[in-house]
Structure 1
Amino acid sequence: MSKKIGCGGVFYREFTTLSVVYTHYLMLGMVFFLLLVVVEKNFHFVDNKVLKYLLFYHIGLNLTVFLLTIRGVVQVLSLDVSSAVLFGIGHLILGVSMNLVLFSFRNCIKD
């Protein structure tokens, strides 16, 4: 069992920029939804349309974290992969879906 834990530590230290991955998951995965719970409790703006945006957000978040991990491995192994567009797709999905959720919240406040 200690070999498995040791391999995980080596992967963490050598092959990825996991500090970036963890901060993305922490801030975008937990803090965003904790704030969303507080806002929802006060304004009740989540409906079926917003739930679709949140599903889109989850897809973008998981894609971002997966591609950041892949990017870290590619960088450490010095592979010649010029697919920066692929690595940015998750961030693009996150940005679009977060804006859609915030616009829905703004429209709720106006009403």
Structure 2
Amino acid sequence: MKKLLNAAFIYMLFGVASGLFYREFTKLNDFPEGQFTQLGLAHTHLLTLGFIVLLIVLALEKSFGLSATPKLFGWFFWLYNAGVVLTSAMLIWHGSLTVLGEESSKMISGIAGLGHMLITAGMIVFFVALRKAVARTQAGNGATMNEA
């Protein structure tokens, strides 16, 4: 649980910092206010996918003991976090290039796509671990999975 709490806290810090970077970097480079850049998306990705989702996972861990299947939980944790970090880094890179008036490459989009695939794989593994944890909890209470 401490690993989830620490990761959520780190995402909160980076999410807030990325919002600050977005605001100040666009002002510093006279980027037109209201014009789209992916820098703003990095802020919301880090706060939502990192901070908020991991706080929800922390609550589910407390309720169902997800980490009782350490292999599955470990796969979820590292796949998901690698995906969030990779996706957010590409949003910052692409957004910074936009603000600087430079061309982006398809490589950035491809790497961001890989990040999204890692997030998806992590979510799938998470639900497998959650399903097992819920079944284990219900078995301990004498209920079957179909009753819930």
SS of equivalent residue, structure 1 residue 91:
helix
1:74 aligns with 2:97: yes
Are 1:17 and 2:42 counterparts?
no
Q: Does 1:58 align with 2:72?
A: no
SS of equivalent to 2:105: coil
Structure-to-structure mapping, 1:80-91, within 5 angstroms: 81-83=105-107, 84-91=109-116
Give 1:5's aligned residue: none
Pairing of 1:20-31 with structure 2 (within 5 A): 20-31=41-52
Contact 2:94 2:104 in 1 (8 A): no
Structure 1 12/89 Cα, relative in aligned 2: closer, same or farther at 3 Å? farther
Name 1:109's counterpart in structure 2.
Answer: 134
Gaps of 5+ in 1: 1-7
Letter in 2 for 1:11: F
Structure 2 gaps, min length 5: 1-20, 32-36, 137-148
Q: CA deviation at 1:51?
A: 2.0
Give the Cα separation in 2 of the matches to 1:25 and 1:10.
Answer: 18
CA RMSD of aligned residues (A): 2.2
Q: Which residue of 1 aligns with 2:9?
A: none
Go from structure 1 to structure 2 and tell me whether the alpha carbon gap of 1:34 and 1:80 turns closer, same or farther (over 3 Å shift).
closer
Q: Could you tell me the TM-score, scaled by structure 2's length?
A: 0.61
Shift of 1:11: 1.6
Count of residues in correspondence between the two structures: 104
Q: Say which one has the larger Rg.
A: 2
Q: Which has the higher contact order (CA 8 A, sep 6+)?
A: 1
- Quick one: structure 1 residues 107 and 17, their matched pair in 2 at CA, closer, same or farther if it must change by over 3 Å? same
